[in-house]
Structure 1
Amino acid sequence: MKKIVLVLSFLFSTSFFAQEKVYYNFAVNNCGESSAEELISKCLIGSYLLNYDFVTIQGKTVSTDKVKKPIVLIAASTRCAPCWGDIPALNKMVEKYNNKVEFIMFFWDDLDGIKRMQEKLDARIHLIPSTKKFDNKSYTESYGFFHKLDYPTTYLISKDKKFLSIRRGAAYPSKDMNWDKVNEINEKELEEFIKPVL
């Protein structure tokens, strides 16, 4: 009987500790993986979002713990061509899913840069400036949320604040691809990306 109790106690304590949450800020800063793909697959997916009090360029505070919908969190820079290429598809997703998903976009840029892109973005997207600059232009920090995966990077976060998926890059116009094709590719990718939380 003592052995059964001991085994059950061990199993209970093991499962209890196995369920402890790992938060994104710890995962992104302590992952020993060398590539972005490994950082995403081995450390970031499955981690959880802490509360961040993002302040939009209009001065409105968006506290992530008060957001009751899934979150699409986008890291962008106005110096990044794919970020501009993704705008029409992103606006379409906001139009379709704004009542089901919260859209937040934070930037590497300062306020002047963000205002240039704001003119093209759906007004329902919360636009957040960087609060800390780094020598490595792939890195940015906004109100404690640390990003180091280039631009654009889109994070899909469930209602319980778990990171489900991360999308990097986007199509953009070139001599081989016109805007119609770019929009078709980006819209299809974003739709598939968001689908798990709808």
Structure 2
Amino acid sequence: MNKSLLYLVTLLFPLFLFSQSDSLSLNDTTQFSNAIRINLSKYKLESAHAYRTGDIERGKFLFDSLVQYRLAGTKFDNFTLKRINKSKVGKSKIELADIKKPIVFITYASWCVTTQGEIPAINKLAQKYGKDVQFVVLFWDRKHDIKKIAKKFSSRVMVCYAHESYKNDSRTVGILKHTLGLPTTFFLDENLKVSDIKRAGVQVSLQKGDYQKGYALNYNAFLEGMVPFLLNKELAKEMLVIK
């Protein structure tokens, strides 16, 4: 286990155990789409008021509370996504349940500017941990609008797209884009259970040209959400050694 991962494990492991035991007992059998539907109206009302009055911290608190107490531990819907490029076996679509390993699922749009160092950080993590975790990026755009930006991602990152005008995309758009908005990152375990949900990219202002700081902040932000998956992998290895 490398030093940066070990540090995050040491820092977050007690919190991870507490939050998982608390949220899973409440939401273990709940479908994500049902949970977001039940809780969305109140969240949107309170969140809109917070941002309208300039209370940014309150808005962030409401989002984090919604995730921690209502969405973490729910079962993510098995969405079928269209890939920008076909897989090695020639398939242009993928069901999330077919991935069979933890997923870092990020939603963007071609007109949504990523923060400095964000895509390189994703690419580096995908290359480093690709055997254990699958990165999936979903753009809320038509196919021809994302071809250029899709080339910026590593081949280890699965780039997909969905749009209101495409047949069969309305449910995916309604549940994900029109609820928590974008950019958003969903951390899903190998059984599609929601471990955490965060806003994609670092949520701090960066000076123009401050690439290294942006890269480091983005790298650590995504890695933090991956810790439970990587920790479980390391623990599984340890158990095999003990046996």
Q: 2:38 aligns with which of 30, 39, 42?
A: 30
Cα deviation 1:78-101 (Å, max 9, x = unaligned): 222236641010001100111101
Does the residue aligned with 2:70 lie in a helix, a strand or coil? helix
- 1:1-198 alignment runs, 5 A limit: 21-31=29-39, 32-34=41-43, 35=47, 36-58=63-85, 60-82=92-114, 85-132=117-164, 142=172, 146-147=176-177, 148-171=179-202, 174-175=206-207, 178-198=210-230
**Are 2:139 and 2:160, in contact at CA under 8 Å, matched by a contact in 1?**
yes
Give the direction of change, closer, same or farther, for the CA distance of 1:18–1:165 in structure 2 (3 Å limit): closer
Q: Mind listing any 5+ residue stretches in structure 1 that lack a counterpart?
A: 1-16, 134-139
Question: Larger deviation: 144-153 or 118-127?
Answer: 144-153
Bigger strand share: 1
C-alpha separation in 1, matches of 2:198 and 2:26: 27
C-alpha separation in 1, matches of 2:205 and 2:153: 18
**Are 1:128 and 1:142, in contact at CA under 8 Å, matched by a contact in 2?**
no
The alignment's TM-score, normalised by the length of structure 1, stands at: 0.76
Q: Mind listing any 5+ residue stretches in structure 2 that lack a counterpart?
A: 1-24, 48-62, 87-91, 231-243
C-alpha separation in 1, matches of 2:124 and 2:93: 25
Cα deviation 1:127-170 (Å, max 9, x = unaligned): 2211326xxxxxx8647753332332111101121100112142
**Are 2:30 and 2:75, in contact at CA under 8 Å, matched by a contact in 1?**
yes
How many angstroms does 1:56 deviate by? 0.8
C-alpha separation in 1, matches of 2:127 and 2:142: 26
Seq. identity, %: 25
**Are 1:52 and 1:144, in contact at CA under 8 Å, matched by a contact in 2?**
no
Does the residue aligned with 2:218 lie in a helix, a strand or coil? helix
C-alpha separation in 2, matches of 1:111 and 1:54: 12
C-alpha separation in 1, matches of 2:93 and 2:116: 25
Aligned to 1:137: none
Size of the alignment, in residue pairs? 176
Does the residue aligned with 2:42 lie in a helix, a strand or coil? coil
* Residue type at the aligned position of 2:42: E
Does the residue aligned with 1:58 lie in a helix, a strand or coil? coil
Bigger helix share: 2
Cα deviation 1:49-100 (Å, max 9, x = unaligned): 2322222123522112222101111111222223664101000110011110
* Residue type at the aligned position of 1:64: L
Give the direction of change, closer, same or farther, for the CA distance of 1:18–1:73 in structure 2 (3 Å limit): closer
Cα deviation 1:96-123 (Å, max 9, x = unaligned): 1111011111112222331121121112
